Chain A
């Protein structure tokens, strides 16, 4: 920070630094006001109105009835449940696989840099392409996943996982974590590489085993990175749309209809903007609460 010169006004300064600083953010602030704040406020407004299907004008004020409709609707609650289950599988898998990858890549062995290079590849794939790849990978007719499971003797015949409500949520969540776990791995690895060597060496001299060192030194050191990563996982887990769209379209029989997909359906299939906005507000609240709780929980848990 340039504290020393906050109010200095040299011969070539036509504005104080304070004013100049504020002036510089005005363009961005304006853009974000128009593109983020205004739509957010409008969405909240719409959730209290019976918005006509053509979207012209805001329609009739209906108070909380969109929300009452949602809260008494089993499809909404099913979708909340599915979203949370999906998010939990996604968050746990991404964090565990990512942590595993980071710890592994922090060891020295031949091929380590090659492996780290590979770790970027799934992350480089757009979410939709992740969905496309995994839809066919897990396909019940021609997918390689079935081919491998059959060869290993785990299944006796091809199984259409994506058409089975019990498996579809797992396979979609696994597909999404395939990409996310690599991002998590990269971020945690960056955190691990700042761990001073002396710290774990000293513990090792004191007779601490691998697991003790992991628990008392590595994990606390990773606390800030883990918090960030978990918040990211919560957000991406609750917001997932692309992978679901490509793999299951919310099916079979709503088994993978996440809230994000329910919003899409309300807006663009049923053109019910009022209800859709009410779901959007609920999802945004869920993401905010989820993100904030994570920050608190993760910080506490690892401190012990």
Chain B
């Protein structure tokens, strides 16, 4: 085979086999990752009439933007009422359309709740992480272990007292119900990650500033934080993602205030079509996916820091 070649580079058959195997496995991994996304995206562009074909097509023959238009509340061309896809009457969807359009409102809710959670979490976490990173005091070790332990016991098991207290205080179905509960599980995460970043900043930096007469708060705000910006970004994005995707608390403490319970609610509507839901899903998943892609580099190191230690 390749050993027969007389001119040019000698091609090692083992190397070719190696290359072939690499690309073969890479394709398998890529299919495993992308196939479910691909199906969702395809459905989002499908007219309802194409749903239910067998075998299920990989991509719609006649792609349409109608699903996205309906979800976003844009006018849709007159539909053919005789076409019935997956058992829904296409001309009697006004009610469904209104409920699906709630996706934009809930995305706004998810967004500002996420921002509040990030802000509050960071303010609390910065001081604690700085303290754990720089000072030794009684209880520091205990506090740190407690934080790690709190990541093992999930929020779900604490729901009963939280629910009861929020009901008594009339906070059920408000954004505050979610902000308060989300901070309880994002705060430990943020402290662990920020401490990891602060640990990497040499303490000679703070000592030099102290000699120059900076007080300890000035050291935190004008020396440490500017250096720790990548860590702050990574922590903020991670906290935002957790808040954006949280489902259980939002389900039981509010009436579909944020995106995940709204999507879950669509699932149980018998008349709801998968084409509309897939369009809504695509829209809902865009913000976290964009955020992750933009901040990928920071996130991976933050994830490693947050799960380690």
Contacts and interface: CB of A to CB of B under 8 A. Distances in A.
Given A19-B137, A132-B263, A245 B247 contact: yes
A124 B160 contact: no
| Interface range on chain A (Cβ under 8 Å from partner) | 35 or more
Contacts of A21: 131, 134-137, 140
B207 interface: yes
A229 B51 CA distance: 39
B161 A25 contact: no
Contacts of B128: 24-25, 27-29
B184 A31 contact: yes
Contacts of A229: 307
Given A28-B125, A39-B158, A136-B274, A18 B33 contact: no
B153 A267 contact: no
A258 B137 CA distance: 42
A24 B127 contact: yes
A43 interface: yes
B264 interface: yes
A70 interface: no
Nearest to A191: B304
Main secondary structure of the interface of A (DSSP, over half): helix
A6 interface: yes
B307 A228 contact: yes
Nearest to B139: A22
Main secondary structure of the interface of B (DSSP, over half): helix
A137 interface: yes
A268 B180 CA distance: 20
B167 to A, nearest CB: 7
A27 B159 CA distance: 23
Interface stretch (B3-11, B21-29, B61-69, B89-97): B21-29
A104 interface: yes
B203 A2 contact: yes
A124 B278 CA distance: 17
B201 to A, nearest CB: 11
Interface in B197-230: 203, 206-207, 210, 213, 215-216
Interface string B270-287: 000010011001001100
Interface stretch (A215-223, A278-286, A296-304): A278-286
A115 B26 contact: yes
Contacts of A5: 207, 210
B75 interface: no
Contacts of B278: 136
Interface of B: 19, 22-23, 25-26, 29-30, 32-37, 39-40, 42-43, 51-52, 54-58, 86, 124-125, 127-128, 130-132, 134-140, 143, 146-147, 150-154, 156-164, 167-168, 180-181, 183-184, 187-188, 191, 203, 206-207, 210, 213, 215-216, 241, 244-248, 251-252, 259-261, 263-264, 267, 274, 277-278, 281, 284-285, 288-289, 291-293, 296, 299-301, 303-304, 307-308
21 contacts: A1-B136, A2-B134, A21-B134, A21-B136, A28-B187, A38-B161, A39-B158, A42-B161, A104-B26, A119-B33, A125-B288, A129-B263, A132-B267, A132-B277, A133-B37, A133-B281, A137-B35, A241-B247, A242-B260, A245-B251, A267-B159
Given A17-B137, A129-B245, 9 more contacts: A18-B136, A23-B131, A24-B135, A31-B183, A31-B187, A46-B161, A100-B25, A119-B33, A228-B307
